[in-house]
Amino acid sequence: MTDPHERIVPSIMKWILTGCDINKDIAVSDMLQLTAINIQIKDADRVFRLYIKSLGNKAVYRVEESVKIRCSLVDVSRTIRSPSELPCRKRRYHG
């Protein structure tokens, strides 16, 4: 890894993840690939997307959430398979 400004890059153990996309792909038929609509919903600090994505010789309907977090990569790596349990995920509070 290099930095064109020649700054010292800290150890990966000190990196902070500030956001990521969590997604799930659903296999779709050829007809749905042509007729499905793309949807994006923005609500405060959350964004949800639904769209067709081409993956080589097949297509999927992707359901995606953009997540804002502030957490070390070490903590995130422990819960990456359970996104709802991300330790530093910003949550909306109603008050």
Bridge partners, residue 21, by sequence = 66
Measured CA distances, 45 to 26, 35, 66, 92 (Å): 25, 30, 9, 8
Predicted model pTM? 0.59
In the chain, how many domains are there? Answer: 1
| Structural domain contains residue 44 | yes
Residue 56 belongs to domain spanning: 19-78
| Structural domain contains residue 88 | no
Structure confidence by residue, pLDDT tens digits, 19-58: 888 889 998 887 777 788 888 888 766 788 999 988 888 8
Tell me, what's the pLDDT at 84?
64
| Structural domain contains residue 84 | no
Choice between 16 and 80, residue whose per-residue pLDDT is larger: 16
| Structural domain contains residue 13 | no
Of the candidates 31, 32, 37, 28, the residue with the CA atom closest to the CA atom of residue 55? 28
Of the candidates 24, 23, 20, the residue with the CA atom closest to the CA atom of residue 68? 20
Average pLDDT, the chain: 78
Tell me, what's the pLDDT at 92?
45
> Cα(87)–Cα(53) distance, rounded to whole angstroms?
29
Tell me, what's the pLDDT at 94?
37
